[in-house]
Amino acid sequence: MLQQQHSEDRHRDQRGVLLIAGESPLRSLISTYLSTMDCACVLVSTPQQLADVRHETFDWVLIDMANSGMPAEQAIVNLRELHPGLSERIVAFSSGTTNPEMHELIERYGLRQMSGETLLPQSSATLRDLVAASRKIQLVPRRMEVAELIFDSFRVRLPAGVRSSPESGRQLAYRHKNKVVDLLITQEMETGRVLLAGQVTGVGMAKNNGLVVLLIDGVTTAARTTTNQFGEFLFEFEIIEDPGLQIRLPEGCWTSIALGKMDWAKTPLPD
């Protein structure tokens, strides 16, 4: 159930904390402990409950990455839309088992991370410091760096007498520092699904296998894969409205690739 204390009823010295978490023993401990620290804690666990507090004022946010009531990425995206000023004041923790996808979300959105043990009352120095300095926290998130488009086959003039074909697809190349991402986007004529084949290469790149590649639909993750020993990856999907890629490069930074509208793949070109 939504536990809420309206902003106008809070004491001016109280810190407003939004706790996004599903039912768990850790959630109860955190909520109780925050109340003992004179924090006005608002607890939500579903998208509707989060929307219900869009007019509330908060100093910072704690989000359970293992919340079963609302996927972590959906919670982060909704929170950034409803409370853009809190984008740099989100602290992530997990009441369950952590996995690579959780760590990727923390990196991509520049969240501060705290272990579950740190949040418990008996080991609470970090949480106490956060509450005391919540109005002064200035976090600099890891910005998603945008790759530069360096080649697009649709912008290359074809020789006289040569006509394009939907089977030839669209070739794209992007550069991020000394890395190049080559893409070939084609359409399966029988199913209408899109095939996106790519390869990550770079000068002096000792390792290009096992790189995480995400297919993004707008601001949410549609699919995830990793590169093989040659830096290659493949996605097959239905046409989406706002497609893009996000790739975690060997040095740990993320690069973003906007693919643009795919209207060209919806209707076969005439012969």
For 144, residues 6+ apart whose C-beta sits below 8 A from its C-beta are 108, 246, 254, 255, 256
Cβ distance 61 to 21 under 8 Å? no
Residues 20 and 55 reside in one and the same domain:
yes
Where would I find the H helices in the chain?
25-36, 47-52, 72-82, 100-108, 116-119, 125-132
CATH number at residue 169: 2.60.40.10
Q: Is residue 184 part of a domain?
A: yes
- Domain with 50, as residue range(s), is 7-132
Instruction: Give how many domains the chain has, as a whole number.
Output: 2
* Domain limit, last residue, from 132, 153, 188: 132
Residue that finishes a domain, picked among 101, 132, 163: 132
Q: Using the predicted structure, report yes or no on whether residue 158 has a pLDDT greater than 80.
A: no
Share above pLDDT 70 across residues of the chain, in percent, rounded to a whole number: 76
Q: What pTM, to 2 d.p., does this model score?
A: 0.68
The rounded distance, in Å, linking the Cα atoms of 29 and 37 is 12
Same domain as 165, residue 118: no
Strand partners, 172: 152, 183
**Is 125 in the same domain as 149?**
no
Mean pLDDT in residue range 23-40: 81
pLDDT in tens, 206-219: 678 899 999 999 87
pLDDT at 123 over 60: no
Nearest to 216 by CA among 260, 252, 268, 266: 260
State the pLDDT at residue 267.
55
Lowest-confidence region among 130-139, 168-177, 197-206 = 130-139
* 55 assigned to some structural domain: yes
Q: Which domain CATH number covers 75?
A: 3.40.50.2300
* Maximum alpha-carbon separation in the chain: 78
pLDDT in tens, 246-270: 999 887 789 999 998 877 766 554 4
Both tokens assigned to 3: 């536990």
Domain contains 1: no
Is residue 271 included in any domain, yes or no? no
Residue that finishes a domain, picked among 79, 98, 132 = 132
